Amino acid sequence: MVRISREEVPYMRPAVFVDRDGVLNEDTAYASDPKVAKLLPGVAPAIKRLNEAGMIVIVVSNQSGIARGFHTESDTRAFNAELDAQLRAEGARVDGWYYCPHLPEGKVPEYAMECECRKPKPGMLLQAAREHDIDIASSFIVGDKESDIAAGAAAGAQTILVGAGTSISDPQPPPTHLTADLPEAVELILARAVV
């Protein structure tokens, strides 16, 4: 595990790591077509509130459809670019888009591997922390799957399980908080965050 000390980076800010499908946008199976990219209700204003509060917003998403051969990395980047455009149109900003294209049992050889970036491992969060001077200990991850919570816990962030994910029985590790959706999670974060 990579540890970042305040001596290495004089000023580190908290971040909110957000899973993509099911938290940021509608979860359609292996979403890759920008034409079907659609933000969930209230997401853009919620992210704008985080921006205004001085928090870094990072999207971290497993995209095993790439390893499965369902779509390409270019498709994933185009989908993310469409979501980014929708957010910007409402005055909201994501500071970094990270995705893991790997899956050990994938059909595309170059992506069929065990990696450190696929949630529940914390690789994407740790990479973003290095690249954006993030203080993970004062950060949050918002996700709808047990793997999101496990990745956040492994990195040392507070964890928020949202939406359908709140019906997971006995998630391990247990999330720090439960909320209905990203806007409700943002309310909770802003009440507890020190920026």
Q: Write out the catalytic residue numbers.
A: 19, 21
Q: What is 154-177 written as a DSSP string?
A: HHT-EEEEEGGGGGSSS-SSPPSE
Pull the structure tokens for residue 32. Answer: 């890759």
Give the integer Cα–Cα distance in Å for 173 and 27.
Answer: 23
- CA dihedral 182→186→187→192, nearest 10 degrees, is 140
Sheet containing strand 158-162, edge to edge, reads 96-100, 56-62, 15-18, 140-143, 158-162, 177-179
CA 33 to chain centre: 19
